[in-house]
Amino acid sequence: MPTISIREHGVSAVRNQTVVNPVTGEIVKLADFQPPERTATKGWTPNVARRNEQRLQQIDFDGIDGVPAFVTLTMPSGQMSDVSASMFHGWLKRWLQFMKRHGLVHYYWILEFQASGNPHLHVLVWLDHEPEPLETFKALRSWVGILNKSGVGARLQGQIWESIDVGGEITVDGERVPAHPERVLMYLAKHAARGVAHYQRQIENMPDDWQYRSGRVWGHDRSLPLRAQQDVECDYPTFHRFRRLVRRWRLAEARGIKDADRRRAAIVQARSCLKCPRPDISPYRGVSAWIPSDVASALLDAAEVMGGDYEEE
């Protein structure tokens, strides 16, 4: 049976993989019968990107107390051959410890790789106060100092701290994004989900040590407030109607974007969200979208009460 999962800021509808239990003969979900094996972490994979996006969709932004800011931390690419994954994650741990001593309340980080093999961290932080310019300078200088102590010649000019003033815009990876923690993380999640094959996430662009065991490529603090997702099992007619309703909602949202280039790209993505070149897979293809939970619940209610065939425009 398909399952529709509704999260605080997103929704997904998937067909469950099932197997027959050889002992009881019962049909069970594959994940229940055979839990996924934990193996060496190898950077960004489709499953890693999916878990990152789903976790971001569970964040209760209204329940977060603190002043948000967006931080980008980098290091020189020329010395990556001498830097192991464990060293890099150790630097991140020490930097977060420094920030906790200076008012850090919550954080969410995502690791990316440039074509040169140079890693950089995107970190969304929440502080318990409005930081002064000197404090943000010291925060960035602390990262540079941690790397320099390990013999890595990091530069202060390569680090970025941007306050998130709700209602404005900030720059994320060279693109202007509405200044709100949810929109910033939404952009990073979409970037990760569509970019597993992107040069910034290809395992081949990582140094040799990283290719075997890169460590986690995203993470957050344990106290970050999350909302539990609601899982609803449904029949296939409801599953198909719900997918098409999600597609129509995405199209409506895309057409409301003011920027012409962004609007055009969003419309193309929305129109193709259910397309699949294989006819045997297309009827079962899942759908995932950033949709407020109240909207997703309303779409599910509509899909359940609608009878007969529901045709797209």
Helix/strand/coil for 53: helix
Tokens of 202: 């290809």
User: 220, 247, 267: which is the final residue of a domain?
Assistant: 220
Q: Report phi then psi at 122, rounded to 5.
A: -100, 125
Q: What is the mean pLDDT of residues 154-176?
A: 76
Residue 187 to residue 240: CA distance in whole angstroms: 27
**Residue 310 domain-assigned (yes or no):** no
Q: Is residue 41 in a domain? A: no
> Is there a contact between 174 and 122 (Cβ–Cβ < 8 Å)?
no
If asked whether residues 67 and 191 sit together in one domain, one would say yes
Worst-scoring range by mean pLDDT, 86-100, 185-199, 284-298?
185-199
Are both 193 and 165 inside the same structural domain? yes
For residue 220, give every residue at least 6 positions away whose Cβ sits within 8 Å of its Cβ, in sequence order, or none: 55, 106, 107, 108, 109
Task: Tell me: do 99 and 179 sit in the same domain.
Answer: yes
Contact call for residues 217 and 48 (beta carbons, < 8 A): yes
Q: Are residues 88 and 165 in the same domain?
A: yes
* Structural domain boundaries enclosing 289: 2-35+234-305
Is residue 225, in this structure, part of any structural domain at all? no
Higher-pLDDT residue of 312, 239? 239
Residue 19 has pLDDT above 60, yes or no: no
- Report the pLDDT value the prediction gives residue 198, as an integer from 0 to 100: 61
Higher pLDDT pick, 262 / 89: 89
Higher pLDDT, 62 or 139: 139
Evaluate whether residue 42 is within a structural domain: no
27 lies in a domain? yes
- Residue 33, pLDDT > 60, answer no
150 shares its domain with 299: no
Q: What is the pLDDT of residue 191?
A: 59
CB neighbours of 262 closer than 8 A, spacing ≥ 6?
A: none
Locate all alpha helices (DSSP H) within the chain, ordered by sequence.
30-33, 46-56, 85-100, 133-149, 181-194, 208-212, 236-255, 260-271, 293-305
Q: What is the pLDDT of residue 144?
A: 94
Q: How confident is the model at residue 157, as a pLDDT?
A: 87
State the total domains in the chain. 2
Closest C-alpha to 196, from 43, 45, 42, 41: 45
Of 220, 246, 273, the residue that ends a domain is: 220
pLDDT score at 268: 92
DSSP 210-245: HHH----SEEE-TTS-B---EEEE--HHHHHHHHHH
Range name among 13-27, 171-185, 290-304 with the lowest pLDDT average: 13-27
Residue 43 lies in a domain: no
Q: What is the pLDDT of residue 133?
A: 93
Both 22 and 122 in a single domain?
no
Average pLDDT over residues 179-202: 63
Domain boundary among 165, 196, 220: 220
Confidence of residue 38 (pLDDT cuts 50, 70, 90): very low
Task: Determine, yes or no, domain membership for 227.
Answer: no
Residue 149 burial (CB < 10 Å; 0-12/13-18/19+)? Answer: exposed
Among 141, 166, 17, 150, which residue's Cα sits nearest to residue 71?
A: 141
Say whether both 97 and 133 belong to one domain. yes
pTM for the full predicted model:
0.81
- At residue 116, the pLDDT reads 63
Under a CB-based contact definition with an 8 Å cutoff, are residues 53 and 108 in contact?
no
Q: Do both 78 and 213 map to the same domain? A: yes
Q: Say yes or no to pLDDT of 312 above 70.
A: no
Q: How many CA atoms lie within 13 A of 18 on its CB side?
A: 11
**One domain for residues 175 and 265:** no
Q: Would 246 be classed as within a structural domain?
A: yes
Asked if 65 and 177 sit in the same domain, the reply is: yes
Q: Residue 71 sits in a domain of what CATH number? A: 3.30.70
d(CA 146, CA 94): 8
Q: Do 165 and 261 lie in a common domain?
A: no
Same-domain pairing of 202 and 248? no
Is the pLDDT at 256 greater than 80, yes or no? yes
84: its two tokens: 């192991």
User: Is residue 143 helix, strand or coil?
Assistant: helix
Residue 201's pLDDT is 56
* Rounded distance between C-alpha atoms, residue 183 and residue 57, angstroms: 11
Q: Is the pLDDT of residue 61 over 80?
A: yes
Give residue 26's pLDDT. Answer: 59
Residue among 238, 247, 240 nearest 283 (CA): 240
Confidence (pLDDT) at 175: 64
